[in-house]
Structure 1
């Protein structure tokens, strides 16, 4: 199975990218043969506009990313908490996604906080992040709290209990990916006929 991990920070070399690398390392031992990180700080996607539908040149980068997402079995969305919200880059990414990229695929939400916070972006994404793309957010999520001390080593965390929880959560994501595969196949035509949420 293939996993796409989206790092939603605008900052290069962010703690979100470190969290992505850590989850990528876990994914290989929990049922994913392939796990790719897509760093929105380096992809420079334009802000959504109607040109995305007409295939104008400015959207060539998005089209390549969309093709990669279509082949994924599951997705992880990682956002830092900025002023209690998910980042504009990640919200823009979700505006660009359709059911072709995320429809009926399991999605794990993760947030990164320099303090003990981090829950607000999760709530925000659960409320608005799947309307037209039909992503299936799994019940569990991860919050990388006190990220500057938690993400101290390359592809590792300093908290053993958090590590155990993260391993379980990635294993859970893989189980959802296997279970939802026939659902996606059965609903392909319906997603084309009814592309928008109510």
Structure 2
């Protein structure tokens, strides 16, 4: 059974403890460009940069400036790990479980990640970025693509997500879903996941296997 399992991990707010930094960044951009939208940063969770630019920064010069700002921002990030995330991925690998990163981040952002953590390209069996999909979360396309690349059926996959669009994408992909209470409070995502955890420090391989018995 274990050999047919797969763990699909969102990046920010699941592997990396970076969601608060992105929230601050987009909140500032929202104040400057869209003060009429008080929840601007929340609306962008799980969406690709391409979609954000098309909807909120359609003018070419404005979009170019936003891209420049986020590039500068991400080059300075150090990408700290969510507690226990890297260790947990390693445990899955040791037990023959396929693992993938499934993120709304683009390849340019991932280059900054690999610059600091080149081992991620070896640790994960697949990495699905925004450049490989046509529809962002909550559409399940990204998770279905990851399952296909890993050679797994949706029922054999467990999604780890923190955002509302990501959790919905996992559900719509017909996969088991673990919610990380890193971006939203546990009571806000409890009904959107099969299990909610604060981080990976106490989440074991047995806990992972148990998810497959949940109906």
Does TM, normalized by the shorter one, top 0.5? no
TM-score by length of 1: 0.34
TM-score w.r.t. the length of structure 2 is: 0.32
Q: Which structure: larger Rg?
A: 2
